[in-house]
Amino acid sequence: MKDVREALLNGLNSQGQMVRRPLSPHLQVYRPQMTSVTSILHRFTGIGVSLGAILLSLWLTAAASSARWFAFAQSAAASIPGMIVLFLFTLALFYHFCNGIRHLGWDAGYGFDLPVARRNGAIVIAGSVALTAITWIIGLIIW
């Protein structure tokens, strides 16, 4: 036994035998559900948007540096790999945006009923895909 936490993992079962208390089931043994999948996606897209924010920072820095650097940044963004990265950034941003509003609802005490939470989750996924599609359609039309 290393520490208090370790000691607390040992206990008596209903038969009075010493047992190691079970740990709560983790990701790999859990059937994916709307609530867990949307929660995990919230974290992944949050990390994605963080990486996107670095690109935003570099884009602004290029603009503040020189006309040539900004032209380079703009052409990099308009290249095929650049567009793929920007597409993923858009998707992550809109997912985190929609699910973030769902989280604010929970913080305010609304939407805890399971059927409601499941429906909200579906709306968030559909909404973020739709917003991404609309953004790219508008973006490509005015380009």
Partner 1 sequence: MTKINPIVIMRSPLARARGLGSARSGRGDWWAERLTSLLLVPLSLYFVLSVFLLEGADQAAMIRYMAEPWNTVLFLALITSLFYHIELGLRAVIEDYTHSEGRRLVTILIMRATVLFFGILAAISVLKLAFS
Q: In sequence order, which residues have a C-beta less than 8 Å from that of residue 126 and are 6 or more positions away?
A: none
The nearer residue to partner 1, 16 or 107, going by C-beta atoms, is 107
**What does the alpha-carbon distance between residue 36 and residue 103 come to, in Å, rounded to a whole number?**
13
Residues that bind partner 1 (rule: CB under 8 A) add up to a total of: 33
**What is the contact mask toward partner 1 in residues 116 to 135, using x (rule: CB under 8 A)?**
-------------------x
Q: Which residues bind partner 1 (CB under 8 A)?
A: 4, 43, 46-47, 49-50, 53-54, 56-58, 60-61, 63-64, 66-67, 70-71, 74, 78, 93, 97, 100-101, 103-104, 107, 135, 138-139, 142-143
